[in-house]
C-alpha cells in the first residue's frame, strides 16, 4: 500500500515537470520562428548561405546612389535593391548604341530599340528573380475571371540571382548582376533570331564581352555592354568572323499612379499599344488600343475649362546635346518649339520647350542618360538619318522620356535633294554651298518631324495628297499652307513649282492636320471620368472634319493606296510627276555646271547624278501605284460610304499611258554623256535597265493582278486585268507593230517583260504565307499570261518578216525562243 502511494506521489510530481519542459521548448521554437520571420537575413547569415554585407560590398567598392544603389567591386557589379521596390513595375529597354555598318541592311541604326519589356524584381525563396510581365491580357482584380487570366498568362522568369547579402538594416537585398549583363541573355541581345541566322552567329565570345558601365539615377539605371559574337558571315570584315555591338540597357521605374489612357481611333494617326480585357461583358476578350502620349495636365483647371491657355504642371522639355554645333542650336530649338502652336490648339501654353545644355553650376545632376532629361542628341556619324524614339508606359501609353537623334551627315541628304528637286525653279538651290539660313530651315523642319514622332504621331502619308497640284505653283498658297497638310508626311520639297512661278515655298512646314491631331490626342475632357466616356467627344471632333482632306490620315502601310504614298506631293500623281520630270530635265542638263565646274572635282557630280536617278525612279513610282490602286478612307458606319474604293479605270489607264511615254521609253535625256564619261567607265546601261524593270515588275505582280481581278469582279466599270495586260503589251512592243528598230534600252525591257511573265506562269505562291496572296494556280492569272504570250509570239513572227537592223532581228529570234520555252518547256 505504501509502495502504491509512493508511486502515485512520484507520478504527480513528474508529470508537471515534463509538461513544463515541453511547454518551454515549444515556446522557444515559436520565438525562434517569429525571429526568423521578422529577420530572415540574420537567419540566412547564421546558416552560412548569405555573406556579411561588408564582405560583399567592401571598402574598395565604387558606389552610386539612385533607383538602386550600384556597386563595382574589382570586376564585379552589384545591385542593392530596396525591399520596397520588389514587385514594382519597371520598363527594360534594350537599344543598340554602336553597331557595324550594314547590319540589318541599313534598317538598324545606332539608337534602334531592339526590345522593350515590362519587368518586376521579386523574391522567391532564397533568390531574386526578374519576371517579364505583360499587360496584353488584363482583367479587373475584383472579377473571378482575373484568376484565370493570371493562371493562363504566367510571366516568364528572365533570370534568377542568388542573394549575396542584406544591408545592415535588412531594408535592401544585394545581388551580383555581373553574369546577367555580360552573358548572352536573348531578351537583352541586339541580335534577334533572324539576324543570327543571316550572319551565322555561333555564340557570344565571353572573353571579348564585358560591362562597360553601370550608372544609377533617381528613376532609372543605365547599363552599357560591349558584346562580340563569333559569326561565319558578318556584315563587314568577313575574315574577322566577328560581330561587335554596344548595347544600352535602360531600366526605368514606372509611375506609381498610372495616367488615364486615351483610346485609339484609326481615323487619327497615333502610335499605340494593345490590351485584351477579359473583364468585358462581350462574348470575347475586348481589345483595347491606347494612344501613346505625354501626361499633360493644366496647372489651373478652372481657367482651362473656361477655354483659356494654361501652362501644364509638367511641360515637355528637351535639352540640346552639349556636342551640338553652336550655329545649328537655334534651328533645333525652333524645330522643337514649332509644336507650341499645335499644343495651344489643345489648350496648353508653353507645353514644349527646348533648352541649352545646363552648366555644372546650373544643374550638377544633368546627364543625358538620366530618364528625367529628354535630349536632342547630336551624333558624329556618317549615317544620313534622324530618328525620334520614345519610351512609354506599357500599362497606359504614357510617354516618359524621349531622345531625338540627329546624325551629322543627314544635312548632306537635304542639300542634295534641295538641289535636285527644286534647282530648276529655285536659284538658291543651284549650289553645293547652300546657305546656312536655308540649311537651318531644313534642319528645323526635320527636327519638328522627329519631335512629332516623339509626341506620339506616326507618319501621315495622306497629308501630301491634300492639296491640288496647281496650288504648288502659287506663292501665297504655299507660304500659308506649305506643301502638305502635316509635317508628319514625307513631303520634303516642292518639286512641282516651275521656273517663273515666283516666290513659292519649297521647304515643308507644319500643317492643319498637326493642330488637329494634337488637339485630338492631348486636349483634356474634364467631364469624362474614364477612357470610355471620352469616346463621344473624340468621335465628334473627328466627324466635324471628316469631309475635309486636310484632316485625313493616310497609313504608311497602305502600299495599295496611291493617295498615301511616301515622298510625293499633290493630289494627282500623273500631273505632279510630269511637272517633276520637266524640272529634272533642266537639272540634268545643268548638273555639271552647278557642281564639278565649280569644285574642279567629280565626286559630288557622281553622287548627285546617282541621286538624280533615284529621284526619277520615285516620280515614276508615284504614278505606278495608281495601277490596281485602292483608296482607303477610315470611317465609322454612321458616316456612310465605303472604306475602300477602286481607283477609276480612266485614271489607271492614264497612269499606264504616262509610264509608256516617260518610264518605259528609252531614257535618252537621262543619259547625260558629260556626266557618264567622267563618272562611270561601264554599267550605266544596266543601271537604267534595273530602274525600269523595278517598276515593270511592280505592275506585273501577283498583288497587282489580284486586285485588278477583284476590282473587275466588283464592277464592270473597273479596269479589267485582260485590258490592262493588252494595253501594257501593245505599248511595250509597239516597235514590232510599226516596223521600227528596237533600242538597247527597249530590248532589255522587253526581255525583262518575258522573264516576268515566266515568273507569273511558274512561281509557286503559298496562299497561307501572306494575306495579299491568293491561290494563283487556280486563278485567272496563268490563263491571262498564257494568252498574252501567245499573242506576243504571233507579233514577233510577223515582225520578223519586216526589214530591221540585225540587233532587232536577233532580239526577235531570242524572244521567240524564250516564249516557246515558257509555253512548251523541255522535259
CB of 613 within 8 A of CB of 626? no
Question: Given this model, what pLDDT does residue 787 score?
Answer: 96
Question: Given this model, what pLDDT does residue 278 score?
Answer: 52
Average pLDDT of every residue of the chain? 87
Instruction: Name residues whose C-beta falls within 8 Å of residue 474's C-beta, 6 or more positions apart in sequence.
Output: 501, 504
Condensed to tens digits (0 to 9), the pLDDT of residues 595-624 reads 999 999 999 999 999 999 999 999 999 999
DSSP secondary structure of 625-675: TTTT-EEE----GGG-S-SEEEPPHHHHHHHHHHHHHHTSS--TTT--HHH
CB of 101 within 8 A of CB of 76? no
pLDDT band, residue 24 (cuts 50/70/90): low
HEC readout, 555-587 = CCCCCCCCCCCCCCCCCCHHHHHHHHHHHHHHH
Asked whether the CA dihedral 372, 377, 383, 386 is positive or negative, the reply is positive
Question: Given this model, what pLDDT does residue 136 score?
Answer: 55
Residue 345 has pLDDT above 70, yes or no: yes
Condensed to tens digits (0 to 9), the pLDDT of residues 470-498 reads 999 999 999 999 999 999 999 999 999 99
pTM of the model as a whole: 0.85
Share of the chain above pLDDT 70, in %: 87
What is the spatial distance between Cα 515 and Cα 523, in angstroms, rounded to a whole number? 11
What is the spatial distance between Cα 357 and Cα 374, in angstroms, rounded to a whole number? 11
pLDDT band, residue 48 (cuts 50/70/90): low
pLDDT band, residue 820 (cuts 50/70/90): very high
Q: What does the angle CA 117 – CA 121 – CA 123 come to, to the nearest 5 degrees?
A: 145
Instruction: Name residues whose C-beta falls within 8 Å of residue 70's C-beta, 6 or more positions apart in sequence.
Output: 63, 64, 77, 78, 79, 80, 214, 215, 216, 221
Question: Given this model, what pLDDT does residue 759 score?
Answer: 95
Q: What is the mean pLDDT of residues 343-355?
A: 97
Residue 33 has pLDDT above 70, yes or no: no
Question: Given this model, what pLDDT does residue 366 score?
Answer: 81
Condensed to tens digits (0 to 9), the pLDDT of residues 197-216 reads 888 888 888 889 889 999 99
CB of 407 within 8 A of CB of 383? yes
Cα of first residue to Cα of last residue in the chain, in angstroms, is 122
CB of 313 within 8 A of CB of 299? yes
pLDDT band, residue 30 (cuts 50/70/90): low
Q: Which of 258, 248, 255, 191 is nearest to 223 (CA)?
A: 248
| Of residues 33 and 144, more confidently modeled | 33
Question: Given this model, what pLDDT does residue 499 score?
Answer: 97
Residue 116 has pLDDT above 90, yes or no: no
Q: What is the mean pLDDT of residues 570-576?
A: 97
Q: What is the mean pLDDT of residues 30-57?
A: 66
pLDDT band, residue 13 (cuts 50/70/90): very low
pLDDT band, residue 103 (cuts 50/70/90): confident
Residue 421 has pLDDT above 60, yes or no: yes
pLDDT band, residue 380 (cuts 50/70/90): low
Condensed to tens digits (0 to 9), the pLDDT of residues 644-669 reads 999 999 999 999 999 999 999 988 89
pLDDT band, residue 275 (cuts 50/70/90): confident
Asked whether the CA dihedral 102, 104, 108, 112 is positive or negative, the reply is negative
The lowest-confidence range among 37-41, 346-350, 609-613, 687-691 is 37-41
What is the spatial distance between Cα 7 and Cα 651, in angstroms, rounded to a whole number? 119
pLDDT band, residue 697 (cuts 50/70/90): very high
What is the spatial distance between Cα 296 and Cα 311, in angstroms, rounded to a whole number? 9
Condensed to tens digits (0 to 9), the pLDDT of residues 161-175 reads 999 999 989 999 999
Helices (H) and strands (E) in the chain, counts: 26, 24
Query: By three-state DSSP, how is residue 107 classified?
Result: coil
Residue 507 has pLDDT above 60, yes or no: yes
The lowest-confidence range among 143-157, 534-548, 560-574, 690-704 is 143-157
Pairing type for strands 398-407 and 374-379 reads: parallel
| Of residues 404 and 565, more confidently modeled | 565
| Cα 201–chain centre separation | 25
Q: Which of 122, 454, 443 is nearest to 318 (CA)?
A: 454
CB of 351 within 8 A of CB of 463? no
Residue 529 has pLDDT above 80, yes or no: yes
pLDDT band, residue 10 (cuts 50/70/90): very low
Instruction: Name residues whose C-beta falls within 8 Å of residue 472's C-beta, 6 or more positions apart in sequence.
Output: 478, 483, 494, 496, 497, 504, 569, 570, 576
| Cell numbers that stand for 94 in this block | 534594350
Question: Given this model, what pLDDT does residue 19 score?
Answer: 47
Residue 267 has pLDDT above 80, yes or no: yes
Pairing type for strands 157-166 and 137-138 reads: unpaired
pLDDT band, residue 383 (cuts 50/70/90): low
Q: Which of 745, 755, 729, 733 is nearest to 812 (CA)?
A: 733
Residue 12 has pLDDT above 50, yes or no: no
Question: Given this model, what pLDDT does residue 57 score?
Answer: 93
Instruction: Name residues whose C-beta falls within 8 Å of residue 39's C-beta, 6 or more positions apart in sequence.
Output: 170
**Domains of the chain by residue range:** 2-38, 53-253, 615-827
Strand partners, 353: 317
Asked whether the CA dihedral 518, 522, 523, 527 is positive or negative, the reply is positive
Q: What is the mean pLDDT of residues 547-573?
A: 93
Q: How many CA atoms lie within 13 A of 6 on its CB side?
A: 3
Amino acid at each position: 500500500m505504501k509502495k502504491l502511494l509512493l508511486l502515485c506521489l512520484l507520478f504527480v510530481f513528474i508529470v508537471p515537470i515534463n509538461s513544463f519542459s515541453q511547454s518551454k521548448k515549444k515556446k522557444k521554437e515559436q520565438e525562434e520562428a517569429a525571429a526568423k520571420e521578422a529577420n530572415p537575413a540574420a537567419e540566412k547569415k547564421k546558416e552560412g548561405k548569405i555573406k556579411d554585407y561588408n564582405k560583399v560590398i567592401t571598402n574598395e567598392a565604387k558606389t552610386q546612389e539612385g533607383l538602386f544603389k550600384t556597386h563595382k567591386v574589382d570586376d564585379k557589379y552589384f545591385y542593392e535593391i530596396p525591399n520596397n521596390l520588389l514587385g514594382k513595375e519597371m520598363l527594360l529597354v534594350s537599344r543598340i548604341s554602336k553597331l557595324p555598318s550594314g547590319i540589318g541592311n541599313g534598317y538598324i541604326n545606332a539608337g534602334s530599340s531592339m526590345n522593350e519589356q515590362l519587368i518586376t524584381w521579386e523574391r522567391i525563396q532564397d533568390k531574386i528573380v526578374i519576371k517579364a510581365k505583360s499587360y496584353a491580357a488584363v482583367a479587373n482584380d475584383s472579377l473571378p475571371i482575373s484568376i484565370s487570366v493570371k493562371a493562363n498568362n504566367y510571366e516568364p522568369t528572365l533570370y534568377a540571382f542568388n542573394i549575396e547579402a542584406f544591408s545592415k538594416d535588412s531594408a535592401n537585398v544585394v545581388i551580383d548582376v555581373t553574369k546577367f549583363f555580360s552573358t548572352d541573355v536573348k531578351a537583352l541581345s541586339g541580335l534577334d533570331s533572324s539576324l543570327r541566322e543571316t550572319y551565322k552567329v555561333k555564340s557570344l565570345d565571353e572573353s571579348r564581352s564585358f560591362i562597360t558601365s553601370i550608372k544609377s539615377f533617381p528613376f532609372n539605371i543605365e547599363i552599357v555592354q560591349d558584346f562580340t559574337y563569333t559569326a561565319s558571315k558578318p556584315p563587314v570584315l568577313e575574315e574577322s568572323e566577328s560581330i561587335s555591338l554596344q548595347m544600352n540597357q535602360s531600366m526605368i521605374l514606372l509611375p506609381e499612379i498610372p495616367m488615364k489612357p486615351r483610346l485609339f481611333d484609326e481615323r487619327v494617326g497615333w502610335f499605340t499599344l494593345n490590351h485584351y480585357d477579359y473583364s468585358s461583358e462581350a462574348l470575347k476578350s475586348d481589345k483595347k488600343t491606347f494612344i501613346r502620349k505625354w501626361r499633360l495636365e493644366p496647372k489651373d483647371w478652372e481657367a482651362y475649362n473656361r477655354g483659356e491657355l494654361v501652362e501644364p504642371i509638367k511641360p515637355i522639355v528637351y535639352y540640346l546635346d552639349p556636342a551640338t554645333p553652336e550655329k545649328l542650336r537655334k534651328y533645333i530649338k525652333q524645330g522643337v518649339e514649332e509644336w507650341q502652336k499645335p499644343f495651344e490648339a489643345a489648350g496648353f501654353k508653353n507645353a514644349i520647350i527646348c533648352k541649352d545644355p545646363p552648366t555644372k553650376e546650373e544643374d550638377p545632376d544633368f546627364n543625358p542618360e538620366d530618364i528625367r532629361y529628354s535630349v536632342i542628341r547630336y551624333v558624329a556619324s556618317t549615317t544620313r538619318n534622324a530618328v525620334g524614339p520614345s519610351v512609354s508606359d506599357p500599362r497606359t501609353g504614357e510617354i516618359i522620356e524621349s531622345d531625338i537623334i540627329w546624325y551629322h551627315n543627314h544635312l548632306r541628304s537635304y542639300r542634295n535633294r534641295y538641289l535636285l528637286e527644286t534647282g530648276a525653279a529655285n536659284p538658291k538651290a543651284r549650289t553645293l554651298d547652300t546657305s546656312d539660313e536655308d540649311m537651318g530651315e531644313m534642319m528645323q523642319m526635320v527636327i519638328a518631324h522627329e519631335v512629332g514622332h516623339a509626341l506620339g504621331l506616326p507618319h501621315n502619308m495622306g497629308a501630301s495628297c491634300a492639296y491640288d497640284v496647281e496650288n504648288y505653283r502659287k506663292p501665297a498658297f504655299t507660304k500659308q499652307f506649305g506643301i502638305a497638310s502635316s509635317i508628319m508626311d514625307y513631303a520634303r520639297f516642292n518639286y512641282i513649282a516651275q521656273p517663273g512661278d515666283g516666290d513659292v515655298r519649297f521647304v515643308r512646314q507644319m500643317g492643319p492636320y498637326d493642330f488637329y491631331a494634337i488637339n485630338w490626342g492631348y486636349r483634356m475632357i474634364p467631364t469624362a471620368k474614364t477612357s470610355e466616356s471620352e469616346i463621344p467627344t473624340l468621335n465628334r471632333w473627328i466627324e466635324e472634319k471628316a469631309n475635309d482632306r486636310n484632316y485625313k490620315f493616310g497609313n504608311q502601310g497602305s502600299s495599295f493606296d496611291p493617295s498615301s504614298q511616301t515622298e510625293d506631293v499633290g493630289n494627282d500623281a500623273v500631273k505632279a510627276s510630269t511637272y517633276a520630270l520637266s524640272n529634272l530635265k533642266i537639272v540634268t542638263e545643268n548638273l555639271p555646271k552647278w557642281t564639278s565646274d565649280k569644285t574642279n572635282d567629280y565626286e559630288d557630280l557622281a553622287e548627285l547624278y546617282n541621286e538624280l536617278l533615284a529621284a526619277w525612279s520615285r516620280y515614276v513610282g508615284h504614278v505606278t501605284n495608281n495601277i490596281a490602286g485602292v483608296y482607303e478612307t477610315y470611317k465609322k458606319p454612321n458616316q456612310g460610304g465605303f472604306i475602300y474604293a477602286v481607283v477609276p479605270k480612266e485614271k489607271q489607264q492614264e497612269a499606264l499611258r504616262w509610264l509608256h511615254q516617260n518610264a518605259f521609253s528609252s531614257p535618252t535625256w537621262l543619259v547625260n554623256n558629260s556626266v557618264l564619261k567622267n563618272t562611270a567607265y561601264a554599267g550605266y546601261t544596266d543601271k537604267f535597265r534595273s530602274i525600269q524593270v523595278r517598276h515593270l515588275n511592280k505592275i506585273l505582280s501577283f498583288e497587282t493582278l489580284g486586285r485588278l481581278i477583284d476590282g473587275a469582279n466588283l464592277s464592270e466599270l473597273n479596269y479589267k486585268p485582260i485590258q490592262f495586260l493588252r494595253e501594257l503589251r501593245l505599248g511595250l512592243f509597239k516597235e514590232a507593230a510599226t516596223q521600227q528598230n528596237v533600242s538597247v534600252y527597249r530590248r532589255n525591257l522587253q526581255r525583262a517583260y518575258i522573264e516576268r511573265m515566266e515568273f507569273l506562269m511558274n512561281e509557286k505562291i503559298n496562299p497561307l504565307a501572306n494575306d495579299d496572296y491568293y491561290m494563283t494556280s487556280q486563278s485567272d492569272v496563268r490563263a491571262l499570261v498564257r494568252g498574252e504570250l501567245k499573242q506576243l509570239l504571233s507579233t514577233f513572227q510577223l515582225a520578223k518578216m519586216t526589214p530591221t537592223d540585225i540587233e532587232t532581228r536577233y532580239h526577235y529570234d531570242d524572244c521567240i525562243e524564250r516564249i516557246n520555252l515558257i509555253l512548251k518547256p523541255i522535259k
